[in-house]
Amino acid sequence: MIRYVCDVDVSEVDLLEALMWEWGATVVSTTPPDANPIQLSAFFVDESCPDPMYLSQCMADYLGRTLNLARSHIVDDGWQERWREEFQPLKVGPFWVVGEWDENRYPEPCLRVYPGQAFGTGQHETTALMLEHLATCPLDKKDVLDIGCGTGILSIAASKLGARSVLGIEIDPDCNENMQRHLQINDTMHVTLLIGTIDQVADSFDVILANITLNVLLEIWPWVKAHLRPGGYVLSSGLLISQKGDALRALSDLGAHTVELARKGEWLVLRSTWP
């Protein structure tokens, strides 16, 4: 396993955590939480670890400054077991999110997860925002697309809330084992999770979910508009509160009516419709 460590400003933590998840980190942590600067650590499995020069340049592009990024190789075959020991069931909106090994009975809707990326287990603020507000939107007998589905948790949640069909699509092939495992342990029906890009999707949908960073959202929103059925809506997260103005301008230019649904930490979720 490869560990990257850097000192970051408090104001940069949320953005860099989100980017590390996007770049394939299996674990992201910060210590100490009340200091400035904060030490940010990201762990990657060897075969999916980004090149340090590439990672440093990307971080500099986003922050406008260069960080001192330290890289080390660690022998750690027990991180999944520690994740399992430390993970506690949590209530997110109407959902109970619990470990697949937990033998206790929880009321539906219940989402079972196993050690993988915390970004896809409801622990990250943007995933929690999406889960909380899925339940406030009509999904019964709707066809749903989950763009950048990652572990598949949002796709599975949509199905449990009554969606007629759900298609989740993810560009990162390293997510495939994780997403298929989640389908199995949740005994989910009417959900298809695929590795690919939205260019391969020709259908239209009643509801589109997009929990991705702003730079990707800016690229896909025009496609979303073209593939959203009349009366449909899109939920967008992965957005920092500081990015709200840019997001609203882009959506307005596309003719969308957008409202902010909620905030959590430094993040927000938007709901957009087209007349």
In this structure, what are the phi and psi dihedrals at residue 128, rounded to the nearest 5 degrees? -60, -40
Interval 16-44: pLDDT, tens: 877 887 787 777 777 665 667 888 888 88
Cα 245 from Cα 270, distance rounded (Å):
12
Out of 73, 104, 133, a domain closes at 73
Asked if 184 and 54 sit in the same domain, the reply is no
* In contact, 217 and 241? CB cutoff 8 Å: no
Q: Specify whether the CB–CB gap between 48 and 24 falls below 8 A.
A: yes
User: How many domains does one find in the chain?
Assistant: 2
Domain assignment of residue 134, given as a range: 118-273
Q: Are 233 and 272 in contact (CB under 8 A)?
A: yes
138: left (phi over 0), alpha (psi -120 to 50) or beta: beta
Q: Which pLDDT score is estimated for 222? A: 98
Residue with tokens 């899109």: 234
Is the residue at 201 inside a domain? yes
Tell me the C-alpha distance between 110 and 114, whole Å.
13
User: Between vectors from CA 96 to CA 90 and to CA 97, what angle results, nearest 5°?
Assistant: 65
Ranges of residues in the chain whose predicted pLDDT is under 50: 118
pLDDT at residue 118, rounded to an integer: 45
Length of the chain counted residue by residue: 275
Any idea what the CATH number is for the domain that residue 206 is in?
3.40.50.150
pLDDT, residue 80, reads 62
pLDDT of res. 144: 98
Helices (H) and strands (E) in the chain, counts: 8, 14
Q: Are 200 and 227 in contact (CB under 8 A)?
A: no
- Specify the DSSP element, H or E, that contains 62: helix 52-63
Q: 70-73 and 2-8: which strand pairing?
A: antiparallel
CATH number, position 27:
3.30.70.120
Q: Which residues does residue 146 pair with via DSSP β-bridges, in sequence order?
A: 168, 209
Is 192 part of a structural domain of the chain? yes
Claim to verify: residue 191 and residue 247 sit in the same structural domain: yes
What does the pLDDT read at residue 266?
81
Q: Do the strands 90-92 and 95-99 form a parallel or antiparallel pair, or are they unpaired?
A: antiparallel
The confidence score (pLDDT) of residue 116 equals 56
Query: Do 62 and 156 reside in the same domain of the chain?
Result: no
User: Residue 95 domain-assigned?
Assistant: no
What are the distances in angstroms from CA 221 to CA 8, 111, 201, 260? 31, 28, 14, 16
pLDDT at 186: 93
For residues 145 and 133, give the distance between their C-alpha atoms in angstroms, rounded to a whole number: 16
